[in-house]
Structure 1
Amino acid sequence: MVDTVAVLASQRQDRILAEVRAHGAVRVADLVDRLDVSEMTVRRDITELDRAGLVRRVHGGAVSADPDAAAGRPTDEPAFAEKSTWATAEKRDIAALAAATVEPGQAIALSAGSTVHLLAQRIAADPALRPLTVVTNSLPVAHTLHHAAVDPAGLDVILSGGTRTPSDALVGPVADTALTTLRVDRLFLGVHGLDESGLMTPNLAEAATDRALLRCAAAVTVLADHTKWGVVGLARIAALEEVDVVVTDTGLPEPARAVLADAGCALLTPDDTTDHQPEER
């Protein structure tokens, strides 16, 4: 005799897995409505999928466990070229929103990371954002601003120096010391992951250099697509309370939005570009 309960559980879990693969993340509350079951049942199904390595259970829902959702062990550090192929549409939207907050005459800092690199491409292509001074510890960002810039005469690029990481960031004592002498209006920071505990990276040296970038900035904007939520890293860069604005995409689960709001982070997404304008701390 077929176990009806087991079959139904299997069907629910297939549906949950399909939702996560289609959207990168899913909320428990949404699954309760779609599957017409209790919250406890949904959480139990997510736990089973998490144990099987098919999804990753996070606060309020689940995210993809596939590599293109940036999942991995706390010490995993993907190469820049690999990260550039993940969540590309979301990253392009985030870069466009971030670029709209840059003003001519500012001094800004751009960290390493594939989303920040897309922001650098937009800055390079927009002559209206001149004059502009950019401090960066990213080799791809510096290369793009130097070689692809329209009106390069109005764009000053300061590269920190340091030791190169797999993500093409320059880190270490040389970079950290150089950044202590600088002051910028805003830092645009890419992260490996974030959750209630803060911003994270798998690289200890990069965490220290990112903290040096934070200290030299009057305001901090984090660029992170929804797949970064719940992703852990070995080293914590900063608490959420140290962030002024998070630029993300519409896939960010509602529980994550609530956590960011409680921490005082303004949220900027493609469906809401007016309610939360960046302000200096």
Structure 2
Amino acid sequence: MTDTSNLLAEQRRALILDEVRRRGGVRVNELTRQLNVSDMTIRRDLDALARAGAVEKVHGGAVSVEAARTHEPGFEAKSALEPSAKEEIARAAADLVVPGSAIALSGGTTTYTLARHLTGVAELTVVTNSVRVADVFAEAQRRQPEVPAPTVVLTGGVRTPSDALVGPVADRAIRSLHFDLLFLGTHGLSPEAGLSTPNLAEAETNRAFIASARRTVLVADHTKWGTVGLSSFADLTDIDTWVTDTGLPDDAADTARAHVRELILAGR
């Protein structure tokens, strides 16, 4: 007797693959509506297609293998993805910050969310290559000029689509400094490729951040797991703490715990 559930899954994945090939990419929320199935079902389908090498998972969906490694979404596009997970991660990560410390925040929408939770931390020094992160602290100072503002150091560099400053100018500035804590975002992470990004220059800037930090904290939601960008910039073993959300599957959490020193599931 034909296993109908397997047949339906194969048919559904074939439809998803056709969409990826036709449009270059798909989003999870679109597929749930089109195929009338749950978010988790679509994510399992994308996981299966990614394992088969048919697609590459990206934040919020999947793209063709050719597009995945070089596609860098803009800041606004990334901000709309997993906002509640990012908020949970930011709250948990903010608890790791001690008043009077020197911290670094890399570019990214999760580090941007984290910055909003740090504006009231006393005597903080913040180094960042994110224009958006620097704007968070500047706006907080404009709203409450009577509150002592953190010292914010914005690196120079060339601006990326996600509003991060990268390149030799940023790298030199970062390598001349030392941080107690680095909060690091990533385009994707996997046991094989480690942390990766589509942007070659951003990869080098992230390496400089890691080299200058006493402790590296990855802030990345569960959808980043299994995504691989063009350039790897760190191994999972380079990460001291990974703060993520409870959407991370149990098998992925077990794999992560075998590599990173500490895994924090925010919201649990």
TM-score, normalised via structure 2 length? 0.80
**How many residues are treated as equivalent by the alignment?**
239
Equivalents in 1 of 2:46, 2:131: separation in Å? 40
Q: State the one-letter code of the partner of 2:224.
A: K
Check if 1:239 corresponds to 2:235: yes
Equivalents in 1 of 2:179, 2:159: separation in Å? 23
Sort the Cα spacing of 1:178 and 1:23 in 2 relative to 1 into closer, same or farther, 3 A. farther
2:228 match: secondary structure: coil
Check if 1:93 corresponds to 2:84: no
In structure 1, the residue matched to 2:136 is: 144
Match of 1:104 among 99, 103, 108: 99
Equivalents in 2 of 1:187, 1:204: separation in Å? 20
In structure 2, the residue matched to 1:201 is: 197
Q: Deviations over 1:43-79 (max 9, x none)?
A: xxx59962xxxxx448xxxx99586247561111000
Does structure 1 retain, via aligned residues, the 8 Å contact 2:58–2:68? no
Check if 1:221 corresponds to 2:240: no
In structure 1, the residue matched to 2:69 is: 74
Q: Deviations over 1:161-208 (max 9, x none)?
A: 101011111000000001111001010000000000310100000000
In structure 1, the residue matched to 2:7 is: 10
Sort the Cα spacing of 1:203 and 1:260 in 2 relative to 1 into closer, same or farther, 3 A. same
Sort the Cα spacing of 1:171 and 1:65 in 2 relative to 1 into closer, same or farther, 3 A. closer
In structure 1, the residue matched to 2:28 is: none
Equivalents in 2 of 1:20, 1:234: separation in Å? 30
Check if 1:21 corresponds to 2:39: yes
Q: Give the C-alpha shift of residue 153 in structure 1.
A: 2.7
In structure 1, the residue matched to 2:208 is: 212
Structure 1 segments (4+ residues) deviating >3 Å = 10-20, 22-26, 46-49, 63-67, 69-72, 149-152
Sort the Cα spacing of 1:101 and 1:49 in 2 relative to 1 into closer, same or farther, 3 A. closer
Sort the Cα spacing of 1:70 and 1:249 in 2 relative to 1 into closer, same or farther, 3 A. farther
2:182 match: secondary structure: strand
Check if 1:266 corresponds to 2:262: yes
Mean alpha-carbon deviation: is it higher for 255-264 or for 208-217? Answer: 255-264
Does structure 1 retain, via aligned residues, the 8 Å contact 2:59–2:187? no
Q: Give the C-alpha shift of residue 25 in structure 1.
A: 4.0
Q: State the one-letter code of the partner of 1:143.
A: D
In the alignment, structure 2 segments of 5+ residues that lack a partner are: 14-30
Check if 1:254 corresponds to 2:250: yes
| RMSD (CA atoms) | 2.8
